[in-house]
Amino acid sequence: MMRLATAITGVGLVLASMPMVGVGVSSAASNTATTLVALDDGTQLETRAVLDCHRATGSCDFTVGADRRTGDGVTGFPSDLWSRQSTDIRSTDRLAYLDVHATAQYDRVFKQGGTDNVTTVFMGDGPPDKYQTTGRIDSTDWRTGQPRTDVPVIVCTHIQVVYSGVNITSPSTCAQTTFS
């Protein structure tokens, strides 16, 4: 009986000293895309899309935004700004339903079956983080209603920016990833 207790204690000590395999923070599959466009005033319009997908939850977090780049770094826009950012969220698999929820001051989410569109209007000056939209994408299988994590997710955004002397629409900036 003593040998059995000693053996169990020994195995317990060995297991306790081993690194935990399979335990830890769940990772995310991520992608970030940035596009720069030269403006007539010597600055650049920067658009970006950030996408992080999590297999454990069957969801993705996204951030899309815009700012101006000067020789001194990133800055916001002038006080007479009006802009409209349009963001399309889709998968290449038509049987994946991506349910999109967004958070910005003036945004609308248009659900179109295969592609959801988030339209955000920005007005006036402010810090660079004012001109961004964040949100969550829940991936579901149309047939079963269960989370769908075996599909790619694509986020593409472009923005029309209007202020004194500037009226430009950026090209699309797209981030794509799969679930980790």
DSSP class per residue in the chain: -HHHHHHHHHHHHHHHHSPPSS-SPPP-EEEEEEEEEE-TTS-EEEEEEEEEEETTTTEEEEEEEEEEEETTEEE---TT-EEEEEEEEE-S-TTEEEEEEEE-TTEEEEE-SSEEEEEEEEES---GGGSEEEEEEEEEETTT-SB--SS-EEEEEEEEEEETTEEEEPPPEEEEE---
Which pLDDT tens digit goes with each residue over 157-169? 999 999 998 999 9
Which pLDDT tens digit goes with each residue over 9-21? 343 433 333 333 3
Backbone dihedral angles phi then psi of residue 4, each to the nearest 5 degrees: -65, -45
Which pLDDT tens digit goes with each residue over 1-10? 444 333 333 4
Using CB atoms within 10 A of its CB, is residue 148 exposed (0-12), middle (13-18) or buried (19+)?
buried
**% of the chain exceeding 90 in pLDDT:** 66
Which pLDDT tens digit goes with each residue over 118-146? 999 999 999 999 999 999 999 999 899 89
Distance CA 176, CA 7 (A): 52
Distance CA 21, CA 46 (A): 41
